[in-house]
């Protein structure tokens, strides 16, 4: 049971609480609304305002309910049927609520106490004639079984209900005057009303759970109060108290649970309506909109006092801390890595002086090595130079509140002094500056591995940039820093070129592209290579790119020509007797390399990084490379001996006396090595109109223009010194019986050696 219900039960009889003694709940709406606030005792003012608020709220809800029902009556049949159901169920609840309301005006104290106890426990007694909420009567419509559609009644009571002035029984009026509207609502279903503060409103039309306090007009479960004045259609079964057409029989409600008596049918009051809650008395509409209660003068004074106190407190705090921070550092102030928040300058100076004794400078070096310089090493002492006070003076105390968060860092001289000469000696004695411990840095560089180039990585070393290092040390001593990291601050000398240097890698690749060539050319039993060894003398490295000299291929190929070209050159020859003689230059037999074509082939091999055998190109070719390129098939002629030897595959097939040319400039047989240019049988040598002769022969093999080997049937003798006085015109005359064997042994291109 809530406090409101207790008050309602206690106020049912006797005088209401309050010094003034006015019971506003017994007044009609009209009387209550006409009361002037000046006529009310101060002790009764709160109750008056609360009662007035309740009455106004109930009126607004009744008017809203009437508007809702009018709207529903104009809707379709389903909506009318739903409205009828609400009317029926509300009427049934009103019947039970009316019995609860009709209690003695002045109950005994024991009854009052018992009622309070029951209300608190939720066990409110129910009249024997009242149907319970959980057991609706037979004629009551339920949520799942709505009643038939009902048209709104046209009687006077219904109209008055819509207008907000329903008719009530004479004996109900007294009850309505003695009870608050909240009491009536809470007892509609014989359940305790919810506690509400005086003057609180419940919005019309809100849905509530069964048993909750609802204002008239709220949607309720079957069994709750319906709006007064709703009527059922003639002929329909109606709840007791509902209006019916004259002559209709209203079915009484069936009995409730077994053992309980059915509620007696109540005689309809004047106007034909059932029991309804007493509505507010009609009042003159207020043309002005409802206004909220204005706070009293006392409340305004109280709030103003609070604001003034708050302003005074804030101002006091502001000026207090403005003065406070004029003598102390702001929060978050860092001086030389020291947090001096809210400290006075004297404290900061004293802390600095205390730290001087324990001061030391740690020097972090490579390989996690740390060397230390102490205050004793350098005779360090503190001297106040005003730098700390200067920082405090620069603080803008007007805006101290802006510095409560965040930090501000200062780096200043702390006013220390030390012996510079001693400090120099200590620095010179550091291990990191000892030459025996120093490794100088070295650049990455290209290395020739014989067949390729690679990059030798750089050497980092541990040599300090001594000038930079000394400056860092003395700056730290001057500022009072306790640590320097020469690795992090990069005080070491470094290589200028590292192994990932683009230039180094480009040049290495260009070297290896050249040296990667490996081709060879075959010259008889000799092989010439174009590879790293061959090309290395011709490589040029200008520091940016690696290239071969423009004439490298020409030099290589011409070098081969000097070794293997034999065409028309003087050479050594071993005669038939084994004597080695030197043949003079001349003739047209031998090898000659085609220089231009072979140079181009070498360049292509290098560009494509080729590998394997390549074939040289020749302008002239000998019959082979053996026997000094003469091979085993050749003809040997000795002018001094006037004799000829013919070899086929190193086998002597013929040797015979011959007659060579008359030893004059026009008719001599020229010495040298020649290649047989052609072979012909049955030829005629010379022309009478040109040479003055025309001599037919059986075999003809020219080797030096118009000079050649042939038979001479016109001669009867050969050899001796015939060539001196009856020599030929330059040809080698051979006896006819021997010429055929020589002709058949030689081929075009075979060598003819004349000496």
Which of 619, 668, 669, 660 lies closest to 641, judged by CA? 660
The 10 Å CB-count burial string (b at 16+, else e) for 558-595 is bebeeebbbbbbebebeeeeeeeeebeeebbbbbbbbb
252 sits in the region (left: phi over 0; alpha: psi -120 to 50; else beta) called: beta
Which of 291, 236, 101, 106 lies closest to 181, judged by CA? 101
Q: What is the mean pLDDT of residues 63-85?
A: 60
Whole-angstrom CA distances from 35 to 56, 296, 553 are: 14, 19, 131
Say if CB 52 and CB 30 are below 8 A apart: no
Res. 289 pLDDT band, cuts 50 70 90: low
Residue 72: predicted pLDDT: 58
Does the pLDDT value for residue 128 go beyond 60? no
The 10 Å CB-count burial string (b at 16+, else e) for 33-57 is beeeeeebeeebeebbbbbbbbbbb
CA distance 723 to 664: 11
Residue 484: predicted pLDDT: 95
What DSSP character marks residue 328?
A: S
What DSSP character marks residue 134?
A: S
Residue 35: predicted pLDDT: 72
Q: What is the mean pLDDT of residues 423-444?
A: 93
Residue 467: predicted pLDDT: 94
Whole-angstrom CA distances from 722 to 488, 659, 706, 733 are: 106, 7, 21, 11
Q: What is the mean pLDDT of residues 509-535?
A: 93
Q: What is the mean pLDDT of residues 449-475?
A: 93
Say if CB 660 and CB 641 are below 8 A apart: no
Does the pLDDT value for residue 436 go beyond 80? yes
- Span 38-49, pLDDT tens digits: 666 666 777 777
Say if CB 18 and CB 7 are below 8 A apart: no
Q: Which residues contact 694 (CB under 8 A, 6 or more apart)?
A: 684, 685, 686, 687, 688
Does the pLDDT value for residue 491 go beyond 80? yes
Residue 26: predicted pLDDT: 74
Q: Where would I find the H helices in 12-136?
A: 29-34, 45-73, 77-101, 109-121
Q: What is the mean pLDDT of residues 702-716?
A: 94
Backbone angles phi, psi at 348, to 5 degrees: -65, -45
The 10 Å CB-count burial string (b at 16+, else e) for 640-665 is eebbbbbbbeeeeebebbbbbbbeee
Lookup: tokens for 158: 């219904």
Q: Where would I find the H helices in 74-219?
A: 77-101, 109-121, 156-162, 170-178, 181-186
Residue 335: predicted pLDDT: 84
Tokens 């070129």 appear where?
497
Which of 71, 136, 62, 91 lies closest to 272, judged by CA? 91
Residue 709 in 3-state DSSP?
Answer: strand
HSE, CB side, 13 Å, CA atoms: give it for residue 237.
Answer: 13
What DSSP character marks residue 385?
A: -
Say if CB 205 and CB 218 are below 8 A apart: yes
- Span 112-123, pLDDT tens digits: 444 445 444 444
Res. 288 pLDDT band, cuts 50 70 90: low
Which of 645, 621, 617 lies closest to 633, judged by CA? 645
Lookup: tokens for 627: 């026997």
Whole-angstrom CA distances from 556 to 538, 553, 594 are: 10, 5, 13
Residue 38: predicted pLDDT: 61
Does the pLDDT value for residue 411 go beyond 90? no
CA distance 171 to 176: 9
Percent of the chain, pLDDT > 70?
66
pTM equals 0.44
Say if CB 48 and CB 22 are below 8 A apart: yes
Query: How many contiguous H segments (helices) and E segments (strands) does the chain have?
Result: 20, 28
More confident residue, 242 or 86: 86
Which of 557, 587, 549 lies closest to 677, judged by CA? 587
CA distance 447 to 656: 68
- All structural domains of the chain: 1-246+262-282 (no CATH), 333-456 (no CATH), 502-574+583-620 (3.10.20.800), 634-754 (2.40.440.10)
Q: What is the mean pLDDT of residues 61-85?
A: 62
Q: Which residues contact 540 (CB under 8 A, 6 or more apart)?
A: 546, 547, 548, 549
Does the pLDDT value for residue 724 go beyond 60? yes
Range with the lowest mean pLDDT among 335-344, 446-455, 617-626? 335-344
Does the pLDDT value for residue 336 go beyond 80? no
Does the pLDDT value for residue 413 go beyond 70? no
Sort strands 611-614 and 592-593 into parallel, antiparallel or unpaired.
unpaired
Whole-angstrom CA distances from 206 to 78, 161, 180, 228, 236 are: 21, 20, 21, 18, 29
Does the pLDDT value for residue 81 go beyond 50? yes
Q: What is the mean pLDDT of residues 664-668?
A: 93
Q: Which helix (H) or strand (E) holds 380?
A: none
Residue 56 in 3-state DSSP?
Answer: helix
Residue 174 in 3-state DSSP?
Answer: helix
Res. 396 pLDDT band, cuts 50 70 90: confident
Residue 518: predicted pLDDT: 93
Does the pLDDT value for residue 524 go beyond 50? yes
Average pLDDT, the chain: 74
Say if CB 438 and CB 463 are below 8 A apart: yes
Residue 384: predicted pLDDT: 80
- Span 177-232, pLDDT tens digits: 434 434 444 334 334 333 333 333 334 333 434 333 334 333 334 334 334 334 33
Number of residues that make up the chain: 755
- Span 602-623, pLDDT tens digits: 999 999 989 999 999 999 999 9
Q: Which residues contact 384 (CB under 8 A, 6 or more apart)?
A: 349, 415
CA distance 149 to 511: 109
Q: Which helix (H) or strand (E) holds 681?
A: strand 680-685
- Span 298-325, pLDDT tens digits: 888 989 899 999 999 999 989 998 888 8
């Amino acid at each position: 049971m809530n406090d409101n219900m207790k008050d309602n039960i206690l106020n049912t009889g006797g005088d209401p609480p309050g010094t003034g003694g006015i019971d506003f709940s017994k007044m009609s709406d009209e009387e209550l609304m006409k009361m002037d606030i000046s006529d009310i005792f101060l002790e009764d003012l709160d109750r008056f305002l609360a009662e007035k608020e309740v009455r106004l709220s109930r009126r607004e809800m009744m008017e809203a309910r009437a508007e809702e029902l009018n709207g529903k009556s104009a809707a379709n049949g389903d909506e009318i049927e739903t409205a009828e159901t609400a009317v029926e169920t509300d009427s049934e609840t009103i019947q039970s609520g009316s019995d609860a309301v009709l209690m003695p005006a002045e109950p005994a104290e024991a009854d009052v106490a018992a009622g309070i106890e029951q209300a608190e426990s939720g066990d409110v007694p129910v009249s024997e004639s009242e149907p319970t909420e959980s057991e609706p009567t037979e004629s009551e419509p339920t949520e799942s079984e709505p009643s038939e559609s009902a048209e709104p009644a046209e009687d006077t009571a219904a109209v008055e209900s819509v207008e907000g002035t329903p008719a009530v029984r004479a004996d109900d009026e007294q009850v309505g005057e003695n009870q608050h509207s909240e009491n009536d609502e809470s007892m509609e279903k014989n359940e305790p009303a919810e506690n509400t503060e005086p003057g609180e409103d419940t919005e019309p039309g809100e849905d509530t759970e069964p048993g909750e306090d609802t204002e008239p007009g709220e949607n309720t479960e079957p069994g709750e109060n319906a709006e007064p004045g709703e009527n059922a259609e003639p002929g329909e079964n109606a709840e007791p108290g509902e209006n019916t057409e004259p002559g209709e029989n209203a079915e009484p409600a069936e009995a409730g649970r077994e053992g309980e008596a059915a509620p007696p049918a109540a005689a309809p009051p004047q106007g034909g309506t059932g029991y309804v809650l007493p509505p507010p008395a009609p009042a003159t509409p207020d043309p002005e909109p409802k206004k909220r209660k204005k706070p009293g003068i006392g409340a305004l004074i109280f709030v103003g006092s609070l604001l003034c106190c708050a302003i005074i407190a804030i101002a006091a705090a502001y000026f207090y801390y403005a003065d406070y921070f004029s003598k102390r550092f702001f929060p978050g102030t860092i001086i030389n890595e020291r947090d001096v928040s809210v400290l006075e300058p004297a404290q900061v100076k004293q802390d600095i002086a205390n730290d001087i004794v324990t001061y030391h400078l740690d020097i972090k070096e490579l390989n996690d090595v740390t060397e230390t310089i102490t205050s004793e090493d350098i005779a360090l002492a503190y001297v106040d130079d005003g730098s700390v006070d200067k920082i405090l003076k620069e603080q803008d105390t007007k805006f101290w509140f802006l510095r409560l968060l965040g930090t501000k860092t200062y780096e200043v001289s702390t006013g220390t002094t030390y012996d510079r000469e001693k400090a120099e000696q200590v620095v010179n004695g550091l291990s990191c500056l000892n030459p025996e411990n120093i490794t100088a840095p070295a650049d990455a560089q290209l290395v020739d591995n014989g067949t390729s180039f690679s990059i030798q990585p750089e050497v980092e070393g541990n040599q300090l940039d001594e000038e930079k290092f000394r400056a860092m040390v003395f700056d730290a001593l001057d500022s009072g820093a306790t640590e320097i990291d020469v690795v992090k601050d990069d005080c070491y000398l470094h290589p200028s070129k590292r192994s990932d240097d683009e230039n180094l890698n480009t040049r290495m690749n260009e070297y290896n592209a050249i040296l990667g060539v490996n081709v060879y050319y075959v010259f008889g039993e000799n092989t010439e290579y174009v590879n790293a060894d061959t090309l290395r003398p011709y490589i040029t490295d200008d520091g940016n790119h690696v290239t071969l000299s423009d004439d490298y291929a020409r030099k290589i190929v011409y070098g081969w020509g000097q070794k293997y070209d034999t065409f028309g050159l003087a050479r050594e020859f071993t005669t038939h007797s084994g004597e080695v003689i030197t043949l003079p230059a001349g003739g047209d037999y031998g090898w000659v390399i085609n220089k231009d074509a072979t140079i181009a082939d070498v360049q292509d091999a290098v560009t494509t990084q080729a590998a394997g055998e390549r074939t040289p190109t020749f302008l002239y070719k000998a019959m082979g490379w053996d026997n000094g390129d003469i091979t085993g098939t050749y003809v040997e002629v000795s002018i001094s001996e006037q004799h000829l030897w013919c070899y086929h595959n190193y086998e002597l097939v013929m040797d015979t006396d011959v007659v060579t040319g008359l030893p004059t400039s026009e008719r001599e047989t020229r010495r040298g090595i020649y290649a047989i240019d052609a072979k012909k049988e049955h030829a005629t040598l010379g022309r009478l109109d040109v040479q003055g002769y025309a001599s037919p022969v059986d075999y003809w093999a020219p080797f030096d223009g118009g000079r050649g080997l042939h038979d001479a049937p016109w001669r009867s003798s050969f050899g001796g010194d015939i060539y001196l006085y009856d020599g030929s015109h330059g040809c080698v005359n051979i006896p006819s019986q021997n010429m055929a064997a020589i002709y058949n042994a030689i081929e075009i291109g075979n060598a003819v050696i004349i000496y």
